[in-house]
């Protein structure tokens, strides 16, 4: 049986830690493993830097898969921003390009089985629901099988020396800089850290006239991006998020293990 192994990197901490975990504990598979990243071409610069760093640390190239029709092209023809209600972006910019890549691979290499390794942790087991429905690929969850929790992932990244992605200093998610899932506070942090990208997002929103005319806000549910950065709104948002942060209680994952002593890497 001709088998193939792929790990889908997101540019975030979990999938990165999985690559290091597999190198250490599944070396035979890691040797044959292809690392892939579905590039929306709209990621924040820190994500691209982190991917370069991963390649160096693991001494392995990452295949960067790009959509045939990119975001700008889609917007130019549809004039329709993605949103909570119309999340067309993940399918067109990430899922479809990965599926096409895998289909081609299967034909080209005459594969019988493709294993796709996914960095879902044990404390997120609910996210594995629905797995196994894809006939093309067999999804694998090594972190779930090996009881790896959030703190374990952080230990892996710390002890291997690669650390967390740099964007963790100001935001918690990888993904497009204009992702509509980011909080209003994260939008402000984008404005502070990458004003050029904030401005680009603002232009998408502003140019998408149909959207604005219908009285809808665009990427963010509370403010249009143009209004968000008015001094009085910045003040309001900062005050609100200071209260939210101070009320937040961190839930500690139940298991702590010490993977990867620095000496083993």
Per CB under 6 A, residues contacting ligand SF4 are 40, 82, 87, 89-90, 93-94, 175-176, 179, 181
Closest to ligand SF4 by CB, 137 or 201:
201
Minimum distance, C-beta of residue 42 to ligand SF4, in the bound complex (Å): 7
Residue whose C-beta lies closest to ligand SF4: 175
Minimum distance, C-beta of residue 61 to ligand SF4, in the bound complex (Å): 23
Minimum distance, C-beta of residue 116 to ligand SF4, in the bound complex (Å): 18
Minimum distance, C-beta of residue 135 to ligand SF4, in the bound complex (Å): 24
Q: By the 8 A CB rule, do 162 and 52 touch?
A: no
Closest to ligand SF4 by CB, 149 or 178:
178
Closest to ligand SF4 by CB, 90 or 115:
90
Minimum distance, C-beta of residue 65 to ligand SF4, in the bound complex (Å): 13
Closest to ligand SF4 by CB, 19 or 179:
179
Closest to ligand SF4 by CB, 146 or 224:
224
Torsion angle of C-alpha atoms 96, 97, 99, 102, degrees rounded to 10:
170
């Amino acid at each position: 049986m001709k088998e193939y192994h792929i790990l889908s990197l997101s540019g975030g901490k979990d999938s990165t830690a999985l690559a290091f975990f597999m190198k250490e504990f599944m070396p035979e598979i890691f040797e044959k493993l292809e690392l892939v990243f579905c590039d929306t071409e709209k990621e924040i610069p820190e994500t691209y830097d982190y991917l370069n760093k991963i390649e160096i640390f693991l001494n392995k190239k990452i295949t960067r898969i790009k959509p045939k029709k990119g975001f700008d092209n889609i917007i130019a023809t549809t004039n329709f921003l993605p949103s909570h209600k119309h999340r067309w972006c993940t399918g067109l910019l990430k899922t479809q390009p990965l599926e096409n890549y895998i289909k081609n691979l299967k034909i080209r290499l005459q594969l019988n089985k493709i294993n796709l390794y996914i960095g879902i942790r044990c404390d997120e087991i609910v996210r594995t629901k629905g797995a196994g429905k894809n006939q093309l690929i067999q999804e694998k969850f090594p972190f779930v099988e090996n009881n790896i929790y959030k703190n374990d992932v952080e230990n892996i990244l710390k002890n291997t020396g690669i650390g967390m992605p740099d964007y963790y200093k100001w935001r918690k998610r990888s993904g497009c800089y204009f992702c509509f899932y980011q909080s209003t506070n994260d939008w402000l942090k984008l404005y502070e850290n990458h004003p050029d990208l904030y401005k680009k997002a603002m232009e998408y929103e502003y140019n998408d006239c149909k959207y604005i005319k219908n009285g809808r806000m665009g990427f963010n549910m509370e403010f249009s991006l143009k209004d968000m950065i008015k001094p009085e709104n910045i003040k309001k948002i900062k005050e609100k998020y200071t209260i939210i942060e101070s009320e937040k209680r961190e839930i500690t994952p139940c298991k702590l293990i010490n993977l990867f002593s620095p000496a083993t890497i």
